[in-house]
A and B are shown apart, each in its own frame.
Chain A
Amino acid sequence: MILWAILAVVIPLCAGGAILVAVSGRRLNAMHLIGAGYLLGQVIVMTALYLVLRVGGGRAHARWILLAIAAVAAIATWKVCARPRDTKNPVQRSPASRGAKALTALLIFLIVSKLAPVIASTLFVPVRGDDAISIWLYRAKVVTLLDRLPLDLADPYYLGGAAPAYPIFLSLAAAWTPMVSGEWHETLAILPWPLFYISLLLLTAGGLRRLIGGLPAWIATYLVASLPLLLIHASRPGYADLPLAVFLTATILHLILWHESRLRSDFVFAIVFALAAACLKREGPPLALIAVAGFLLTNLSMIRSLPSVENGINAALVAAACILCLAVVDFSEQTEVASQLAWQPGVFESLLRHAFQWSSLALFFPLVMAGLIAIAAFPSSAHRTTTANLVLAFIAFDAAIFFFTPQGRFALNDQTPSRLFLQIAPACILLLASSLARRRNPT
Chain B
Amino acid sequence: MHTPTTGHGSSSAQRRLGFIVAVLAAIGGALALTRPFLPIGGTWAWRIESPVDLERASVNAELVSVDERGAQLIPQPNRPISLITPPLALPANAESTVFVEAAYTGAGDGRRRCIVRLLWQAEAQSAYRYVETSARLSADTTRIAFSLPDSPEKIHRLGVQFPEVDGPIFIRSVAIPSLSFTERISLFAGQAGEREPFRAHSMNFLRGPVMLGHGLNYYLIALIALAGGGYVAVRLRLSQRVDARVMIGIFLLAWLLSDGQATANLDRNIALDVRDFAGKSREGQIAFSEGEDIAWAWQRLVAECPEGGTYAVVSDDPFRPAHRLAYLLAPLRTRVEDYASADFIVVIASSGARFDELGGVFSLREGPEAKATLIDRASDQLYLLRRESR
Contact = CB atoms under 8 A, between A and B. Distances in A.
Nearest to A357: B215
A419 B204 contact: yes
Interface in A341-364: 354, 356-360, 362-363
A134 B208 contact: no
Interface stretch (B66-74, B133-141, B162-170, B326-334): B326-334
A414 B201 contact: yes
B374 interface: no
A363 B221 contact: yes
Contacts of A126: 277, 285-286, 289
Interface string A233-262: 101100100000000000000000000000
Interface residues of A: mostly helix, strand, loop or mixed? helix
* Chain A interface residue number, banded: 35 or more
Contact of A212 (B1, B201, B289): B1
B76 interface: no
* Chain B interface residue number, banded: 35 or more
Interface of B: 1-2, 4, 6, 198, 200-209, 215-218, 220-221, 224, 244, 248, 251-252, 254-256, 258-259, 261-263, 266-267, 270-271, 273-274, 277-278, 285-286, 289-290, 319, 323-324, 326-327, 330-332, 334, 336
A362 B331 contact: no
Interface stretch (A23-31, A63-71, A141-149, A324-332): A141-149
A142 B332 CA distance: 9
A145 B204 contact: no
A138 interface: yes
5 contacts: A128-B200, A128-B290, A142-B330, A357-B215, A416-B204
A130 B266 contact: no
A162 to B, nearest CB: 8
Contacts of B259: 110, 226, 228, 362
Contact of A228 (B4, B201, B206, B221): B206
A212 B3 CA distance: 11
Contacts of B326: 134, 138, 162
A263 interface: no
A163 to B, nearest CB: 11
B262 A141 contact: no
B266 A231 contact: yes
A302 interface: no
A316 to B, nearest CB: 36
A121 B205 contact: no
B2 A439 contact: yes
Contacts of B330: 138, 141-142, 145, 157, 161
A76 to B, nearest CB: 35
A374 B266 contact: no
A359 B217 contact: yes
A378 interface: yes
Interface stretch (A47-55, A112-120, A269-277, A401-409): A112-120
Given A113-B263, A380-B4, A419 B203 contact: yes
B339 to A, nearest CB: 15
Contact of B205 (A113, A117, A229): A229
